Amino acid sequence: MNKMESIVSKVESIVAPFCLVFASLIVFLQALLRIFNYSLFWAEEVALFLIAWFVFIGASIGVETQAHVAMDGLKTILSPQKMFYVDKIINIICIVFCMITFNSGIKFVLSAVECATTSTSLELPLAYLYAALPVGMLGMFIKYTVKLFSRREVI
C-alpha cells in the first residue's frame, strides 16, 4: 500500500499545482481581456473544472501533510498511548466517510454519463468535472488506510 500511496502522491504533486496555476492564469487572462472589452467564452468553465480537480486532489494532499482540521486539544489532555488509539479511531471514521463519498461520487459520475450531460460553453461531458470527487476520495482513502496501519505514535 505504501508504494501505491507514493504513486498517488507523485501524481497529485504534479496535477494539483498544474490545476491551480492554469486556473489562475485563465482567470487572470479573462480579467485582463475584459479591460479591452473581450471575453473568452470558455474561460470560466475551464477554470471551474480545474479548481474542482484542485480542491479534491488538494484534500488528498491535505491528508498526507496533516493539513486538515484536527482536535489538537486532545493531545494535551490524553497520553500519547491513548492519543494513538484515538487517532486510529479518527482514521477509521475518515475511511468510512471516504468510502461513502466515493460511492456517491461514482453514482454521480455514472448518472452524468448516462444522461450525457455536457458543459454549456465547451460541451465537455460533465462526468469529467464530477470525476474529481471520487478520484479525490480514492486518494484520501489510500492515505487514511496507510495512516491507519502505520505504527507511528502521534506526536
What is the reported pLDDT for 60?
95
Q: Which three cell numbers stand for residue 39?
A: 471575453
pLDDT beyond 50 at 75 = yes
Over the stretch 45-64, which tens digit does the pLDDT of each residue have? 999 999 999 999 999 999 99
Largest Cα–Cα distance in the chain?
Answer: 63
- Domain-by-domain residue ranges, the chain? 2-149
pLDDT beyond 80 at 151 = no
pTM comes to 0.88
Report yes or no: 58 and 125 within 8 Å, Cβ to Cβ. Answer: no
